[in-house]
Amino acid sequence: MKDVKKLKGDSERITITKDIKELVKARLSVLPKNINISIGSDGAFKRDELILHVEEEDNIGKKIIQVDMEFLQSLKRGELYE
């Protein structure tokens, strides 16, 4: 499969497809422009910066993809309403 990379997550291995990247970018795009996201020692990022990182699939981008995918899996498993 083209543009497929694997991310090691806690539960399932996450395969980064183009669709997943677009999903994560779309989800990030609803954040207001005035919101910054502090990611530990990596720094503080604006929405559009994170979208670029996701597109680039660099360390920060992969981190954001992992957060999103594991969160969605957790929602699917109903873990947040136990």
- Summarize as ranges the residues that interact with another protein (CB under 8 A): 10, 27-28, 30-32, 34-44, 46, 63, 67-68, 70-71, 74, 80-81
Residue 58 Cβ, how far from another protein at the closest point, in Å?
15
* Positive/negative CA dihedral, 29, 8, 56, 1: negative
Residue 48 Cβ, how far from another protein at the closest point, in Å?
13
β-bridge pairing 14-16 and 43-46: unpaired
Asked if 39 contacts 60 with a C-beta cutoff of 8 angstroms, the reply is: yes
Query: Contacts by 4-7 with C-beta closer than 8 Å and gap 24+?
Result: 5/57, 7/62, 7/65, 7/66, 7/69
Residue 2 Cβ, how far from another protein at the closest point, in Å?
27
